[in-house]
Amino acid sequence: MPQSVTVRVPAKVNVQLAVGAARADGFHDLANVFLAVGLYDEVTATEADSLRITVSGADAALVPTDGTNLAARAAAALAARYGRSPGVHLHIAKDIPVAGGMAGGSADGAGALLACDALWGTGAPREELLAICAELGSDVPFSLIGGAALGRGRGELLTPLEVGGGFHWVFATADGGLSTPAVYGEFDRLTAGAAVPDPEPAPSLLDALRTGDAVALAGALSNDLQPAALSLRPSLAETLRTGTAAGALAGLVSGSGPTTAFLTKDEASARQVAAALRTSGTCRTARVAAGPAPGATVIG
Ligand code: C5P
């Protein structure tokens, strides 16, 4: 068995997030079109006497290191299934914005699961890893598979999607996170009394992904959680205006926010938009990344 295993896991942006009415279990049915993008966390698993988490990176202080961390829960879930001790040291090198709507916590859960599977030699089949991911959280299965996919149910039932080219993005991070349950709660408040249609993927959006057409994708981007995120964080409207005024094809809130995502026509345009956002004072910083990116991958 290896002494330690490192797994690299991408962030995601939702190019479409169609949200239905709240279900009896409190979750919302979704048509969730995920695209993995090239901002990564790395999770390193090393044998240890007990389960321990450490975190490095600029936002390390914001990441819980107790049993609530999805990486810890992933290791515990795999160990329980295989009747072994969850003794492992998980080190998270964090680069994905924390509580930003880019599935950073989900990435760490998927990464820890794959790393522990390799470290312990459990050899869990892919379907079992995906089932554990779905128990950990709605976005965790996508962090494992990466690429692009349509998520139905609460987002965990995935159909991989074909993508005909690379898309260039700018991600503007904000100070402070937004809580996903709070944003869904605000969605419920804003839609109370209205008929919420069943969520469906937009054919024009799936076509744009398939053909790799950035202009068409920009015209089809949508996020039903955006009004709720803007209601809780009105300053994001100014960030969105700044990115599109700087030349982005379109901008939207990433998932439940508060990170905003801007699609650009090419890499040079992405660098220009990022520079304009950084000097605008409307965000904490801006990062450039392309998608689709591969899912959780053992890199050492
Ligand atoms: O699945 P996950 O733990 O990431 O979900 C966090 C919270 O986000 C849920 O407790 C719920 O409030 C909300 N959520 C939802 N519908 C979804 C996914 C998440 O209401 N499809």
Average the pLDDT over 160-171 and give the result: 98
Give, as one character, the DSSP assignment of residue 19.
E
> Does residue 1 carry a pLDDT above 80?
no
Model confidence pLDDT, tens digit, residues 107-131 = 999 999 999 999 999 999 999 999 9
> Does residue 145 carry a pLDDT above 90?
yes
Neighbours of 8 (CB within 10 A): 21
> How far is residue 280's CA from residue 300's CA, in Å, rounded to a whole number?
39
Neighbours of 193 (CB within 10 A): 4
- Residue 99: the pLDDT is 87
Average the pLDDT over 43-52 and give the result: 97
Average the pLDDT over 187-213 and give the result: 97
**Cβ proximity of 113 and 148 under 8 Å:** no
Q: Whose CA is closest to atom 13 on ligand 1?
A: 181
Does any ligand 1 atom lie closer than 6 A to the CB of residue 142?
no
Does any ligand 1 atom lie closer than 6 A to the CB of residue 199?
no
Residues with a catalytic annotation lie at 12, 139
Model confidence pLDDT, tens digit, residues 49-90 = 999 999 999 999 999 999 999 999 999 999 999 999 999 999
> Does residue 96 carry a pLDDT above 90?
yes
